[in-house]
Copies of this chain bind each other. A is one copy, B any other.
Amino acid sequence: MKLATLPNDTADGALVVVSRDLSRAVTANTISHSLRAAIDDWASVSGSLQALSDDLNAGRSKGDFAFAPKMARAPLPRAWQWLDGSVFETHLDLATRAYGLPNPSYEHPLMYQGMSHRFLSGLDDVPFPKEEDGIDFEGEFGIITDFVPSGTTAAEARSHIILLTQLNDWSLRVPGRDEMTRGYGWIWAKPACSMAPVVTTPDELGEAWSNARIHLDLAIHLNGMQFGRANGREMRFGFDELVAHAAYSRELCAGTIIGSGTVANADYKIVGSSCIAERRGIEILEHAASQTPFLRYGDRVQMAARDKNGEAPFGAMDQRVVPMRAPEKAV
Verify B248–A111 contact, CB threshold 8 A: no
A196 within 8 A of B: no
Question: Would A245 and B187 count as touching, CB distance under 8 A?
Answer: yes
- Copies of this chain held together in the complex: 2
Cα-based distance from A55 to B156 in the complex (angstroms): 53
Judging by beta carbons under 8 Å apart, are A181 and B102 in contact? yes
Contact between B111 and A251, CB atoms less than 8 A apart: no
Contact of A80 among B117, B186, B188 (CB under 8 A): B117
Is the interface on chain A under 10, 10 to 19, 20 to 34, or 35 or more residues? Answer: 35 or more
Partner of A115, one of B117, B180, B250: B250
Q: Judging by beta carbons under 8 Å apart, are B182 and A181 in contact? A: no
Min CB distance A305 to B, Å, is 25
Q: Are A250 and B81 in contact (CB under 8 A)?
A: no
Whether B116 lies near A80 (C-beta < 8 A) is: yes
CB distance from A41 to the nearest CB of B (A): 12
Q: Is the CB of B250 within 8 A of A192?
A: yes
Q: Is A104 an interface residue (CB 8 A)?
A: yes
10 cross-chain pairs, A with B, having the tightest CB-CB distances, nearest first? A185-B185, A149-B327, A80-B117, A180-B183, A112-B184, A117-B253, A191-B249, A191-B250, A113-B113, A151-B327
